[in-house]
Amino acid sequence: MSQADKLFVAMCQEILDHGYSSQGQTVRAKWEDGTPAHTIKQFGIVNRYDLQEEFPALTLRPTAIKSAVDEMLWIWQKKSNNIKDLSSHIWDEWADENGSIGKAYGYQLGVKYKFPHGEMDQVDNVLWQLKHTPYSRRIMTNIYKFDDLMEMGLEPCAYSMTFNVTGDRLNAILNQRSQDILTANNWNVVQYAVLVHMLAQVSGLKPGQLVHVIADAHIYDRHVDIVREMIQRPQYPAPKFSLNPEITDFYDFTTDDILIEDYAKNPQIRNIPVAI
């Protein structure tokens, strides 16, 4: 059975059984009808995925893998902050009339900095270091830039990646300040698992471990019953994942270069309410 499913069930059970409720507090998020969107949360969830063992897509509820990767490439490859460059509509409500989400996400990864090896942006710095100094302990990105926060459509949730090579394996830590577990957890896990696969391939490495650190892991009040039903579903083996082996430049990857096989999964959950 899928290890990703097992981790997800254990995380949800921990939140539901021992989580802290925001009832009685003033909360920022609201439901579409204007009522406060309260949560049950756990602080400091850490999940570890071995990408050599399996591709961590949930079978409890199917993840739209190519759509998730399209958003990741929008941020990491296109370095875009405009929803017109994105296939899905998940960012529409945070964009202005021109489609911009401000100085957020992809914008920050495209900003150039001076490094000892030249002037380049954060993604190119990671690629350079993985090629030239793979055992460095300084291979990382950070898009939570305080002096630009007021010009962001949404402050970054997944804000930092730290890469670390062990032998011939590329490992990574994804730091996330906040996560809506039902709607976003496996979406983000899949995105950054694919990113590790891609960066490993173009750097002559193998994918290793992805460690996902979530500061505020929460389940919204209107998601509780959905989550309870979901974690009781049957679990299946993880799908098989591969990339087009001919791609040697990170900027050449597209969603067409992803192959997902044998993805046994439960039915999709429709009409999930989303807090804003």
Q: Is 275 annotated as a binding residue?
A: yes
Where do the structural domains in the chain lie, given as residue ranges?
43-217+241-261
DSSP state of 263: -
Q: Is 222 annotated as a binding residue?
A: no
Q: Is 159 annotated as a binding residue?
A: no
Range list of H helices, 84-216: 106-109, 122-132, 181-202
Contact 126, 113 (CB under 8 A): no
pLDDT at 1: 86
Q: Which fold has domain 43-217+241-261?
A: Thymidylate Synthase; Chain A (3.30.572)
Q: Is 188 annotated as a binding residue?
A: yes
Distance CA 236, CA 177 (A): 30
Distance CA 33, CA 122 (A): 40
- Residue positions annotated with a catalytic role: 157
Q: Is 244 annotated as a binding residue?
A: no
Mean pLDDT, the chain, integer: 97
Q: Please tell me whether residue 219 adopts helix, strand or coil conformation.
A: strand
Percent of the chain residues topping a pLDDT of 90: 97
Distance CA 248, CA 202 (A): 5
What is the reported pTM? 0.97
Q: Is 225 annotated as a binding residue?
A: no
Q: Is 220 annotated as a binding residue?
A: yes
Could you list the pLDDT tens digit for every one of the 276 residues in the chain? 899 999 999 999 999 999 999 999 999 999 999 999 999 999 999 999 999 999 999 999 999 999 999 999 999 999 999 999 999 988 998 899 999 999 999 999 999 999 999 999 999 999 999 999 999 999 999 999 999 999 999 999 999 999 999 999 999 999 999 999 999 999 999 999 999 999 999 999 999 999 999 999 999 999 999 999 999 999 999 999 999 999 999 999 999 999 999 999 999 999 999 998
Cα-based angle 5, 12, 192 (whole degrees, multiple of 5): 55
Distance CA 79, CA 93 (A): 19
Which tokens is 3 given? 């290890």
